[in-house]
Amino acid sequence: MTWINAIVQGVLVGGLYALFAAGLSLIFGVMRLVNVGHGDLIVAASYLAWSIVHATGLHPLLSLIIVAPVAAVFGYTLQLGILNHTLGKGILPPLLVTFGLSVIIQNGLLQIFTADTRKLDAGALETGSFALLPGVDIGYLPLLMFATAVVVIGALQFLFYSTGLGREFRAVSDDREVAELMGVDERRVYAAAMALSLAVVAVAGVFLAIRSNFDPFMGPGRLIFGFEAVIIGGLGNLWGTLAGGVILGVAQGVGAEIDPGWQVLAGHIAFLLVLAVRPRGLFPRIS
């Protein structure tokens, strides 16, 4: 039963990893930009939520009403003001600029919030659980995280395949030049994609802050989990990203069951195994 429990808990944690990854997957799919600052943006969202909760006394989840729009506007501006200028000149400029962004965010957070760890308190949500099977308890928080990941990815999927904006996302991803010929302003389409990515980052940041302690230097670790989920699932496939998050979560859960020290390592090993067997991930949409 402990193994079943490890797997079930791993699946639920996989939802959080999928939330880390969904924004990355979206951005890479639309504009082939690898956002090295993605993890730090998640942590910055955690701090923004923390500040709002402390200033207003709102429930952490309700802080999203403010954090998500602020993050989206920031993403739109960041893309229009900076990241658009790095595109179309090879793979290095966006990597360098987002790496710089990562350094700036980490040190900015350190400056403002010090290196002390923080956490958001979501009250009964964090401790409540129900028994799925004898010995397998499902916590409300992990279940909510997983359900949120499914809803977020379902919504992104709908947006991508059933709306006009999604049509333009796919068109600029296919052929930027011809999309422009149709009257698509790709700078604004990219900015909309980044806004959406950062709205998802806000959700991930709030859950991260409720689930565990966080500090200004947690970003790169979240970025790695996000990357691994995206690549395991296959580039450009959002449901694949959810599957990737779940595989990563289960591998970590099973690893931790063998030996607590193996938790993170087991996730990386699962990632390397997938890369070795299926270099393009399990369900790739983009070659």
Binding site for other proteins (CB under 8 A): 167-168, 170-171, 173-175, 177-186
Q: Check residue 123 and give left, alpha or beta (phi > 0: left; psi -120 to 50: alpha).
A: left
| Residue with Cβ nearer other proteins (3 or 161) | 161
| Residue with Cβ nearer other proteins (197 or 237) | 237
DSSP state, residue 82: I
| Residue with Cβ nearer other proteins (167 or 268) | 167
Q: How far is the CB of 32 from other proteins (least distance, A)?
A: 14
Q: What is the distance between the alpha carbons of residues 255 and 270, in angstroms, rounded to a whole number?
A: 10
DSSP three-state, residue 96: helix
| Residue with Cβ nearer other proteins (146 or 160) | 160
Q: How far is the CB of 183 from other proteins (least distance, A)?
A: 4
| Residue with Cβ nearer other proteins (45 or 179) | 179
- Read off the tokens for 210: 């409720």
Q: What is the DSSP string of 115-170?
A: S--B----THHHH-EEEEETTEEEEHHHHHHHHHHHHHHHHHHHHHHHSHHHHHHH
| Residue with Cβ nearer other proteins (133 or 182) | 182
Q: How far is the CB of 167 from other proteins (least distance, A)?
A: 5
DSSP three-state, residue 62: coil
Neighbours of 126 (CB within 10 A): 17
| Residue with Cβ nearer other proteins (13 or 235) | 235
Q: How far is the CB of 223 from other proteins (least distance, A)?
A: 27
The residues with which 133 forms a beta bridge, in sequence order, are 136
Q: How far is CA 51 from the centre of its chain?
A: 21
The one-letter amino acid at 285? R
Contact 61, 206 (CB under 8 A): yes
Contact 173, 285 (CB under 8 A): no
Q: How far is the CB of 207 from other proteins (least distance, A)?
A: 31
Q: How far is the CB of 166 from other proteins (least distance, A)?
A: 10
Residues 6+ apart with CB under 8 A from 68: 199, 202, 203
